[in-house]
Amino acid sequence: MGLLALTAEELRERDARYAKTLQHVILGSNIIREIGVERRRQDEKWGEQNHPDGTSGEWETHANYFRRSADAAAKDGKLTWLHILIEEVYEAFAEVDPARLRVELIQVAAVAAAWAEAIDRRQVKSGG
């Protein structure tokens, strides 16, 4: 469908989607840059780190607790970033398979980045 075939409402909706995508890219790129700076700082301070994972199935009970807690908070309309992040962290703690642990850790990082983006959006909206 060409632009001429779009209604005014369809054009407004498309423009709103593009604006949201652009905002996400800008905020996300700032977060990714800041994470890179922090990782370089850590490497400079501590050097390359190669610790054991330390995860185990013993954390599964905690992971289940925080999963249920997040689900209940969501159901009650009281879900917070804390609920989401702690659930992801404990899911990572409970994972023993290295490939699946890596996936969980990426999810932890993504939730932490999304939380930081939300803080940035609040500051923009409040003029701070």
In this structure, the answer to whether residues 62 and 120 fall within a common structural domain is yes
Which residue range forms the structural domain that includes residue 1?
1-50
Average the pLDDT over 52-64 and give the result.
Answer: 97
Nearest CA to 39 among 31, 88, 51, 55?
A: 31
- Cβ contact 94:63 at 8 Å: yes
For residues 2 and 60, which has the higher predicted lDDT (pLDDT)? 60
**Is the pLDDT score of 67 beyond 80?**
yes
**Is the pLDDT score of 89 beyond 60?**
yes
**Is the pLDDT score of 1 beyond 50?**
no
In this structure, the answer to whether residues 40 and 58 fall within a common structural domain is no
Give the pLDDT score at 23: 62
In this structure, the answer to whether residues 62 and 117 fall within a common structural domain is yes
Quote the percentage of the chain above a pLDDT of 90.
Answer: 66
In this structure, the answer to whether residues 46 and 73 fall within a common structural domain is no
Give the pLDDT score at 19: 66
What is the count of structural domains for the chain?
A: 2
Evaluated on CA atoms 80, 99, 52, 106, the torsion sign reads negative
In this structure, the answer to whether residues 120 and 58 fall within a common structural domain is yes
State pTM to two decimals.
0.76
- Cβ contact 54:95 at 8 Å: no
- Reading the block at residue 87, the tokens are 């659930």
In this structure, the answer to whether residues 69 and 127 fall within a common structural domain is yes
Give me the residue label for tokens 């199935």. 57
